[in-house]
Structure 1
Amino acid sequence: MYVHVNAATSADGKLASRERSQLRISGSADFDRVDASRAESDAVAVGVGTVLADDPSLTVKDQDRVADREADGLSPHPARVVFDSRGRTPSDAVILDDVATTYVLVAEAAPAERRESLAAAGAEVVVAGTDRVDPAAGLDALADRGVERLMVEGGGELIFSLFEAGLVDELTVYVGAMVVGGRDAPTLADGDGFVESFPALSLSGVDRLDDGVLLRWTVESRPG
C-alpha cells in the first residue's frame, strides 16, 4: 500500500493551538490541492483526536472530481478511516454518515458496547491490535478491503505511529504564514519521538501556494 501523509502546519510546526482547536492554516489553493489528492486516493485516514476536535467529513468537495471518480467506476468518495483504539468516535460524527464507507480501526481492548454502537451508526469496525491499534495490522486489513493508496490527514500521534512503523511513502506539508506557539500544541509528528534511526526524507518539490509554501518529500529510509 502507498501511504501519503498530508498536513498543514504553522511556520513553527503546529497543527493546532494548545487548546486543540481547529486553525485555518491553508488558503483556497491548498484546500483545492488537498481535495484533488483525496479524489486520487482509495481511502482517507485520521486519528480519533481529529474526529473529536474537528468532526471532519473527509469527502471530495469538487463535483467534477466526484463525477470523474464515478466515470472511472469508483465510489463517489474515497473510504474514510479512523484509527480509534478505544472506539471513542461519537455515534453522531459526520464521518459516520452514509456518504462513503467508513472503517473504524479499534483494538481488542475497545469496549464491546462501543464497537456495537459504531457498527449500528454505520461504521465497519475492524479489530487490529490488542491494547492499541497496530498500524501495520490496520493497513493490512485495509489492503484486504481494496485500499491501495491511503491519504493520512492527521493528527500528530497517528502520523508519528505510521513513521515509527516504517509505513509512510510520501509526506506533503503546507507551511502557513502564522506562528502558534505553545509547548502543548500538537505538532506534525507527536508520540514518543525518535532519538536515533530517524526517518530520512528526500525533498522532491517546493511550491508557493496562497501565502505559504508546500513542501513535498519522499521517504528514503525507515526506522530500524
Structure 2
Amino acid sequence: MDQIRPHITVILAMSADGKITDVNRSPARFGSAADKAHLETQIARSDAVLFGAQTLRAYGTSLSITNRALLQQRSLNQQPPQPTHIVCSRSGQLSPDLPFFQQPIPRWLITAPAREQFWRDRLEFSRILTPFTESGAIEWCSALTQLSHLRIQTLLVMGGGQLIASLLANHFIDELWLTVCPLLLGGSDAPTPVEGAGFPASLAPRLHLLSVETIEQEVFLHYAVQR
C-alpha cells in the first residue's frame, strides 16, 4: 500500500553548467523577473514550501506571495494567503534575527529532538516536527506522513542540493522544475541541484520531460520523476 504523503515538486534555477549558486555559496539572484514570477506561481499552487537551513541562511528570507491575482486565486480556493514555510535543519542552529522571522508567513521547523525545546519556548515557529532516527538521520516516511495529516497535500521544495538528494534517494520527489539561466558559474565545489553521495548510473532517478518553454534567454524545463 502506497504511503499517504504530499505531492512533492522541486523548483530550482541553475546556471547553464548546472550550478545553483557560485563557489562562495552566495545568494543565487541570477534568475530573471520571469523566473521569479514563475517561482511565485508555483509557491501559490502549494500548501507548503520546504527548504534547508543553508538556503535560509544564504537568503535571509523566503519568497512570499505578493501578486494580487495569485492571492485572489488562493482565496477562491479557500486557502490561506500564504503557504506554510517549513525549514529543515538537523542542528536547528538558526539566528532568530533573520528577516525571515519578521515575514508575515506561517513558519514550521523540522529539526532533531535535541533542538526542539529551544524553539518550542519561542514564537518564531508555530509547529515543530522531530522525525529523526537515533542516529540523527531524518525519517522521511514519518515526516511526510505527519505533513499529510496536517493537510499538506502539495509540497514545493526550494533547495538546497543536500535536501533534494535525500528526498530523491527515498523516492519521494514527483516533479522537477528547472530554469536554465544564461551564465556559467564553474567551480568544482559550487553546489548543484542534487548533492549528497550521488547515484550510480544504473540506479540514477530517471526523468520524463513534460514541457519546455523559452522566455527570452532562459529555458524552463518541467520533468516528472519516473517510478
**Identical-pair percentage:** 28
Residues 116-131 of structure 1 mapped to structure 2, 5 A cutoff: 116=120, 119-130=122-133, 131=136
Q: Give the CA RMSD over aligned residues.
A: 1.6
Distance in 2, matches of 1:157 and 1:136, equals: 17
**Change beyond 3 A, Cα 1:115–1:190:** same
Distance in 2, matches of 1:153 and 1:10, equals: 16
Distance in 1, matches of 2:215 and 2:28, equals: 17
- Decide which of 130, 134, 138 is 1:133's aligned counterpart: 138
Distance in 2, matches of 1:136 and 1:56, equals: 28
Matched with 1:175 is 180
- Amino acid in structure 2 at the alignment position of 1:116: R
- Amino acid in structure 2 at the alignment position of 1:126: L
Matched with 1:115 is 119
Matched with 2:3 is none
Distance in 2, matches of 1:178 and 1:98, equals: 31
1:211 aligns with 2:203: no
Structure 1 position 98, deviation (Å): 5.8
Q: Deviations over 1:178-204 (max 9, x none)?
A: 000111111000011112411111111
Distance in 1, matches of 2:9 and 2:99, equals: 23
Alignment coverage as a number of residue pairs: 219
Matched with 1:11 is 16
Structure 1 position 22, deviation (Å): 1.1
Contact 2:119/2:125 (8 A) holds in 1: no
Q: Matched residue of 1:111: which SS?
A: helix
1:49 aligns with 2:54: yes
- Shifted more, 212-221 versus 128-137: the winner is 128-137
Residues 122-201 of structure 1 mapped to structure 2, 5 A cutoff: 122-130=125-133, 131-195=136-200, 196-201=202-207
Contact 1:43/1:147 (8 A) holds in 2: yes
**Change beyond 3 A, Cα 1:82–1:122:** closer
TM-score normalised according to structure 2 size? 0.90
